[in-house]
Chain A
């Protein structure tokens, strides 16, 4: 078969890109996934959306994405509930150094129109009363941050894209990409060959491997980040709680369960996404210290998922320099879900040669070799 564009990966990024392209008039788009919808990192993520970042690029991506989410249900004509709530992220500072860094972050965020603010311990306790007041020195809060259901949000993009003609093939794995004289010829899967001249690599944890198929070296790696969920209970917590130095995030989703995760120090790079007892131990110790009341909840399940990490923990959203028609959206470093509307917007404009409102140079792949990495995102769990 033939396609104008082949998108590899039916996670949130691939589905958003497909939707944005089709909406702008592109025909004959094919999306391939080696398993089911949201089977990769999207369906394993912490379901948070936030704008409280430490770099301008991440702040702008997040802010514009949240503006999309606010009207996504209507824009995409989705009948089900995307479980969008804007009850904020409460980010705890552990010491003076982190407090000072957060002060600068809030200045940057406010300058970009993000309504975050610094809070004292007392003010934070008004929002989440059961916090251990000795576990932090100050906090930042942004009301318009919040939660979104990854399965439902992805389905909303998927159904909208399908309705306007995008074809999806699930349980179909890309095995080879044929390039002749620096021109993309076709994608070969385990089930068919698709002639195309444009490919979008939205393969998440496997983006590097897709790059290798066409000889494009993408400077990313994948690592396992673990997460757990508790039994659902009546609502007791509005915002996502988070600390970078204490290494955790924790929110109560609208369904009632608490989702919480942390990163593993010195995690090996690779595709292992198994669950460990040590994560469970460390997560329990951390959350029982910060918010002792949550300790009364029962853990019912744990799992892992890939963060696709870039050198400065900000995404790569670009066309490859040395292979025309090979577009890349990866390296989201754990935040591809919340940036997905902008990912779709930026890539679709690049492919259709339309001007992007946001400077796409911020997401180029050669930014790493050009200069010392001056803007590394620190606000990552």
Chain B
């Protein structure tokens, strides 16, 4: 099916995947074949581990309940080589939930443990009208970060993992959860992924099948629309009466710099994105200082986030970050420095109206999986921690009562800082779909009125957006290997060591119109999708999928493909993102 008028929507070429058929298992294995745990937490990131940390703290005070949960009271299932390996965020975090999670730690302790890099003292927000100019504006309320802490979620997860292990959790790294176990309308646990399959899924000589992990309660904390969250939402109709979820893609670099940056910076555009409504580009950047206590190094976290709502197929978040670096404002900060990290990750952008119902019989959704991110202020980390804590408390109560009904969790979220903050900003992103100049003032209106205007602004599915081949790519700078980097060398420093003959975990239709193929090629920060040199200019192209480059950012799921569960242990090994 060729494009119409040079436009094609990825949604017209859905990936070959049967969400519920493949990812829901309706009959558990026999008792002696499966593993039984107390609580299974899928995802060893900020939210999942916060849940584990809080739950084990509660269980420590309740030996009877702890014992009743058996040998493995809490199991955390994490597909990366270590917790934190697949985690990436800006991040400037509101401190309160983490202080609540670890009341005995001071901010100094955070920095000594290596996951925090300094309290925000100065901040600045800039408009960047052109590639050369910047205009400092009075800091709008969402960007007021005084008192918050610059952290690395990748490093934080490693810390949380250690604490959870010391408290008795079994952290199963290099393990993916590929199926949700559902029996009698209730979530009974998850099934771990197979290991040792080849390129086309065929079992190799050392094939090891996965195992059913039966749990009294399951927490889906997979991050941005992980692999089981989608099927769960469909199975239990958790998306009913809600706006569809939308996504943003962030690409980040960490730099070691000769001169410390003294302030937290956000830029809200319009450059480097286009202001033309037709292009649909909404994006902004961050630049955060990081003081590494362990090495004494001055680091800078710099990133670019774009709403995946855009319509120009040549939009590339990675290349727009590289473009952004050419601005004098950035050069002043990074010049003379050295890039030490790179990574990419999608985040849920729909906000309050797109949040699914957060509980189902036997399970709850926590963190980004539940869409709890304020994308105006770029704040999601404290919500992840908060939701992890509340999930633990709801599950603790459920276990005590012998119940698998965790609806109390939903109310707890609503009444907590997460519910309140997300409610306030619930209409602040949607207007941008009308373009920067029309949307901008509307957004300001909603921010200024702190969400008091009673209206619900809709989202629509991003993969339904018709794509056209525009001119964004013409502004991308040429890589030089020192300041401006290409995708492949970036994937390399992410520590990506996916097995060469690992099974292909990316589902896309092989033959699609050029507009769709170009969308994937430019969008993917890891260069997974390639168009063969001899592909025709008109008509469909056969996309080459270099899936071993994949850093599992999740963006493809928003724009017409599906990132299915990769083999455990594959993907990047982020250290300080």
Asked if A pairs with B, the answer is: no
